[in-house]
Structure 1
Amino acid sequence: MPDPAPLSPDDDAWLAAGLAQASAALDSTAPILRHLVLQEERDVFGDAVIAQVRGMIDDVARQLAVALVQAGGAAEGAEPDLADVAGFADLLCANAAFLAAVHGQALEWHLAQRLEQAHGVDMVLAPLIEAAMARQDGAAPALAMAVLVAQARFCQAQRRMQWPLGELPQDLLRIALGTLHARARHDDAEMQSRAIIAERSLRLRFDAERGRLALLRRLVDALPDPAVALDPLQAGPALFLTALARAMGAPREDAALLTAPSHVARLALVLRAAGLEGDMVRQHVGVFHPEALVPAALGALSPHEAAQRLASAGLGA
């Protein structure tokens, strides 16, 4: 196959404009998201993603409030204090890292729905997971089965707009538990004692290695060629976003943003920087944006040059 022609000035301009658009979108995402989640008239925006974010934050806040009331001796199933639920939700919304991660989960859920509806990709049993389960070597089948179970839990939780504390990554659990103490500081010594007891109880039940995101990372790393997980139709949304974040060296929620229309050029360059050929890059981008005109000459860039372009735009892969 002949080498693609070098990038033309028009191709260069397309990439530069696309990266500038992606950079501007990233700069505005956090403050806009915080505003949309916290404001009262959310129906005005009509955005299912924002409703999903709000639902998950309320669910985490409720779990923290339940842990607090149980730490005071209440029986299992006791209703939490509604003021505590609201207070925890406000604290979680005010934390940019936590809000971005929840947003990433919501984007993944809606991406899963899009891929299933438009391309028939099963959001639980994607072809790559099925293939890993069928392998005869090592621990891959057991790991793939664990991913399958975790992904089924994720889909069930998302339908209910929930995020169980046991599924949080360790850094997010640390933030969530920190809100226990942040709220307790405004109360009496008994409340502070309850916060300590609640934190200990939640930590005893937490196992970072059994969470869905940890299992997905382990499965991508166990693949003979992790780059195959950059095919969204074969990998499915969960493995694809995990592999994309791995290729970028960025948080998973940043990878989820790459499927948005404002990030077309960035997604193309990230895939090229990961070593995918130009035709494959255009094919994968087309899964999310069939109307996108990714330059055929993109393949003329080496993976290193693609990474340099991302880095020079402050969007390093």
Structure 2
Amino acid sequence: MSSTAGVFFIRAALTAFVVLFTTAMSGRVTANEPVSVVQSLEFRSAVTPPVYVVPPALKQHESLFRAGLQTLPEAFLVAGALSIGSRDLRLTEEQSASLTPLMTDVYNRIIADPAFRGVPSALPWCFDSRKHDAGHYFLYHPAAIPEKPRCIVFLHGYGGNFQFYTWVLKEEFPDAVILAPSWGVSWATGSPIYLQNMMQDAEMRIGRKLPKPWLMAISGGGNNGFRLYNHQPENYEGYVCLAAAPDQVVARQLRPQLQILMLNGSTDRMIPAAIARRQAALAQQRVPSLRFTEIPGDHFFLLSQREPTFGAIRQFMNGSP
């Protein structure tokens, strides 16, 4: 095992131990019946994501990597990625140091959440080396679904479909029906047919027709989110793009009637604010109503700046100026 790999697992194990220990000691894990439902589901789909191929530079560690995916809790893997991945994530040391306790707290709460108990991570599915014969998604809904619930379809970024995406959305929109589909390691590609098949599966399981959903996408899934929404705008209430921006081709093809909110971090080094502003201005030439807002945070402002982030999202969804 290389020193880098050793650091990954040691730091990941220590962080996850702290998460589990503090949860147990705090007594927040209870036997209460959940007031909401979270499920990890597979569904029939005419299309499925491409097989994940380990990059050549990491090939020598593939067996260790896959063993970790199958045996380690997701909190271990995320903690390890944060401990050694600041450069890849383009975080400063200060940003990484501030993000680690935030992420620890999130997974602490996920472990303590009765609705998530027993729900497996999607990461082994996302990084599988075998061709899938079905699709996968997380489905959240309150135990008693409102007559006219808000519905959200969330597309993950690079790294796979982390549980914390669904958990944060559940916390912010507890009365909503949330569908978080997995598409390999990133929604940078992905098919509208896959999303349609997922919606049909969710409606079958819930036993009722779902309202037109809001489409949301983050980071590596953001550009494709623009493409999917532009392809079938009639299927969605609108589109919320987080920590991403449309590329030149997509921005110039957008339909004028689209309802779009772009939120980007002012100190994001993955998608710098200057680039986000430039691409938003380009998109606004086609979609004058497009809203662009800078959030005071880095690439992970969804976690570090939840109040302004979801305040802006609610305003947009509620039709407020």
Band the TM-score falls in, shorter-chain normalisation: under 0.3
Which has a greater percent of strand?
2
TM-score by length of 2: 0.23
Which has a greater percent of helix?
1
Structure with larger Rg: 1
